[in-house]
Amino acid sequence: MYRLVVVEDVVRIPPSRFGEDIVKTASEVLSEKYVGSLHPDLGLILAITNIEVEPEGTIVPGDGATYHRAVLELLTFYPIVNEVVDGVVVDVKRIGIFVNIGPMDALVHVSQIADDRMVYHEELGVLEGEETKLRISKGDVVRGRITAVSIARPSMIRIALTMRQSGLGKIASGSSSE
């Protein structure tokens, strides 16, 4: 799920930043470009963990900046189908539960919570099994398996989980449950 990825890029150092530490400046410029962005092959980019910048740059006619080759090590979050993850329930709705699994939330559709039919109690903010009486509420810790990952737009990733297999499901209750 979390990966360190090495990429190469060219960083533009504006004339106003000349004389400053090149690695620090390049890190700041590249952080604005990369950190928080979503890339289809890399996932969500969380941080630049290491950077190497060529000290000698190139000047492009008509632009007073210098361009330097840089090698970056990026910390990324890339959920993988069939991976088992633990998370905290952050919202309970009629359609299912939203589970925080790190820097983003995943949906467990109501049909994927348990083998039992789940009933939504809006006044309590819980889903409860009709026969098992299993209750899922905000704050509960759950374990699920990633069943689907889709990048709907360049800025949005959707993750679907299932909890309907042995070893998956509710692990612990939060302070607001039962």
Residue 168: burial class (beta carbons within 10 Å; 0-12, 13-18, 19+): buried
Place of tokens 């360190």: 4
Examine the fold and report which residue of 51, 77, 103 is the final residue of a domain before the chain moves on. 77
Q: Fill in the DSSP letter of residue 117.
A: P
pLDDT at 172: 75
Is the residue at 143 inside a domain?
A: yes
What's the chain's length in residues?
178
Q: Record the tokens describing residue 103, joined without a space.
A: 């820097």
How many domains in the chain? Answer: 2
Q: Each residue of 90-134: pLDDT tens digit?
A: 999 999 999 999 999 999 999 999 999 999 999 999 999 999 999
- Which residues lie below 8 Å from residue 169, measured CB to CB, with a gap of 6+? 113, 114, 134, 142, 143, 163
SS3 assignment, position 59: strand
Domain that holds residue 54: 2-77
Select from 77, 106, 141 the last residue of a domain: 77
Nearest Cα residue to 39 out of 5, 86, 81: 5
If asked whether residues 116 and 55 sit together in one domain, one would say no
The pLDDT value recorded for residue 177 is 40
Domain edge (last residue) among 77, 94, 128: 77
Low-confidence ranges of the chain (pLDDT < 70): 152-155, 174-178
Q: How high is the pLDDT of residue 5? A: 96
pTM summary value = 0.81
Which of 75, 69, 74 has its CA nearest to residue 23? 69
